[in-house]
């Protein structure tokens, strides 16, 4: 096991070693943080050590609240809708969430080490222009999730208060984008405050749920159905993996010496607990009221557990949905700026970030207003496509960071269009294409079902194929990679990057 991986074990003292980022707490002492303005000034640019602030445990509420909301609850509906029973779908959610969150939390550790948003970090693996491939996938995800979030929020408010659907879709989008415009610090504060509310609400509902008597069929371990089980398992995994594209966005301002293990576990526990808990709420409601749509089922389930609690429960879940819409807009803005920087190098400004937020707001509103009523089916198909598109990227990005380059990256060269990482990196592109192609026979969606998936009765195990295939191809392609030579280039390129430290 490489020494860097052993860093994920409990820390031993105050020294953290990670490639060129090997430091101790005494190396980079606490720096006074510059007075923060209301609107965040930085976007895709490097966060200097002198501006780092926050505590590593703040990652827990960011991802607990980021997962504990209506869209996550909807993920728990998938298996029940296909005929699975409650006990087996609960097991599927637990296993899928544990598996998918593992990858997402590994990405979180990259933020404090590099001081950069998540997507811009793809340039070393795919090239200055080649990274546009994964950024396009990320943009589809951001906009798609927000369109679904806006529809779901509107349907919930229509159910509760009979508000106008169109007006509500627009209002949720505008509110999310406005919070994203303020930026990083407000997002962290909002997620921390919301975490307390969601913990209380979920705890009360869970205690009440323990008194529920399900029909025997819902708890029958002998009634195992492969297709609903695998579909629910990988829907949960894909949902958690999908956070990987922006998880470093919310850890990049942390001091570099927070430690790899700490940033991993605070992220993992927040996302796993919040995501799994919320998905199981959806599984529970779907099992109790299988003929109802999401919002009516949740309200009916809550009212049955605690009379009169349906509306407060949905409102609390709706608040989480609004803040995750904010995170999506924030990430979409950073990704659009990365795309623009690839076309023409730019010096990011607040105005540019506002314009990209406006652009993504308009697109998500158009999609949301045109969405059909068949939300659950469309959401399941969307999760499947995310699984296929992100599987090769997450494998390549993580194996490059933890094994091939071992944390050695040049911040300056990442922004150099003619720099050491090249415009097109054939290693990452070939590994992505190979991993994606290997998954095609295992695809199982309403649009296309591969021969292997058909033989398995529609079960989808594509992720289990794409991860190892992408990893193996990338490792083979990197056999000629000279890390020592690149380290010498990095030392020259990044000299004086933080002159005040």
Ordered by start, the domain boundaries in the chain are 3-28+56-379
Nearest to 89 by CA among 269, 285, 270, 273: 285
Q: Are 283 and 76 in contact (CB under 8 A)?
A: yes
Instruction: Give the pLDDT confidence score for residue 114 in this predicted structure.
Output: 92
Nearest to 261 by CA among 109, 64, 408, 407: 109
CATH class name, domain 3-28+56-379: mainly alpha
- What would the two tokens of residue 147 be? 């369109």
HSE-up of 61 (CA within 13 Å, CB side)?
Answer: 18
Across the 501 residues of the chain, what is the mean pLDDT of every consecutive 10-residue run?
Answer: 42 39 35 59 90 94 90 86 91 95 93 92 94 87 85 84 88 93 92 92 84 81 89 88 88 92 95 94 87 80 82 85 90 91 86 93 90 62 74 94 93 92 94 95 84 82 90 96 93 85 59
CA nearest to 129, candidates 336, 406, 423, 357: 423
Structure confidence at residue 500 (pLDDT): 65
Residues paired with residue 23 on neighbouring β-strands, in sequence order: 16
pLDDT of 364 reads 92
Chain center to CA of 204: 27
For helices 260-288 and 86-108, give the axis angle rounded to 10 degrees.
160
pLDDT for the residue numbered 329: 93
CA distance 278 to 286: 13
Contact criterion met (CB below 8 Å) for 252 and 123: no
Give yes or no for a contact between 375 and 294, defined as CB atoms under 8 angstroms apart: yes
């Amino acid at each position: 096991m490489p020494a860097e991986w052993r860093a994920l074990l409990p820390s031993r003292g105050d020294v953290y070693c990670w490639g060129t980022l090997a430091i101790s707490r005494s190396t980079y002492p606490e720096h006074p943080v510059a007075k923060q303005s209301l609107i965040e000034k930085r976007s895709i640019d490097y966060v200097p050590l002198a501006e780092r602030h926050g505590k590593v445990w703040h990652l827990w509420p960011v991802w607990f609240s980021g997962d504990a909301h209506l869209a996550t609850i909807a993920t728990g509906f998938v298996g029940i809708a296909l005929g699975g029973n409650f006990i087996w779908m609960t097991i599927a959610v637990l296993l899928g969430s544990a598996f998918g969150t593992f990858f997402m939390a590994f990405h979180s550790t990259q933020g404090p080490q590099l001081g950069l948003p998540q997507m811009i970090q793809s340039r070393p693996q795919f090239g200055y222009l080649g990274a546009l491939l994964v950024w396009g996938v990320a943009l589809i995800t951001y906009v798609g999730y927000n369109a679904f979030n806006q529809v779901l929020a509107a349907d919930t408010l229509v159910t509760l208060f009979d508000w106008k659907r169109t007006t509500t879709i627009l209002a949720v989008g505008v509110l999310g984008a406005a919070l994203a415009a303020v930026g990083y610090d407000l997002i962290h504060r909002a997620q921390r405050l919301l975490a307390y509310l969601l913990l209380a609400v979920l705890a009360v509902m869970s205690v009440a749920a323990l008194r529920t008597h399900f029909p025997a069929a819902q708890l029958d371990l002998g009634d195992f159905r492969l297709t609903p089980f695998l579909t629910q398992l990988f829907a949960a995994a894909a949902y958690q993996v999908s956070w990987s594209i922006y998880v470093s966005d919310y850890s990049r301002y942390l001091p570099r010496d927070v430690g790899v293990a700490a940033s991993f576990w605070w992220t993992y526990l927040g996302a796993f607990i919040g995501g799994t808990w919320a998905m199981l709420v959806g599984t529970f409601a779907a099992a109790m009221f299988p003929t109802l749509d999401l919002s009516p089922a949740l309200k009916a389930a809550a009212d049955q557990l605690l009379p009169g609690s349906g509306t407060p429960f949905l409102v609390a879940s709706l608040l989480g949905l609004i803040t995750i819409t904010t995170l999506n807009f924030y990430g979409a803005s950073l990704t659009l700026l990365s795309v623009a920087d690839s076309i023409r190098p730019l010096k990011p400004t607040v105005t540019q970030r506002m314009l990209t937020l406006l652009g993504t707001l308009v697109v998500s509103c158009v999609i949301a207003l045109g969405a059909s009523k068949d939300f659950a089916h469309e959401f399941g198909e969307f999760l499947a496509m995310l699984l296929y598109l992100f599987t090769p990227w997450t494998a390549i990005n993580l194996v490059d960071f933890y094994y091939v380059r071992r944390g050695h990256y040049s911040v300056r060269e990442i922004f150099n269009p003619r720099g050491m990482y090249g415009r097109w990196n054939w290693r990452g592109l070939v590994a992505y294409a190979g991993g994606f192609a290997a998954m095609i026979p295992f695809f199982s969606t309403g649009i296309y079902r591969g021969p292997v998936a058909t033989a398995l009765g529609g079960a989808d195990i594509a992720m289990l194929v794409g991860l190892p295939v992408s990893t193996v191809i990338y490792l083979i392609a990197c056999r000629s990679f000279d890390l020592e030579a690149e380290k010498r280039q990095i030392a020259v390129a990044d000299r004086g990057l933080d002159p005040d430290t």
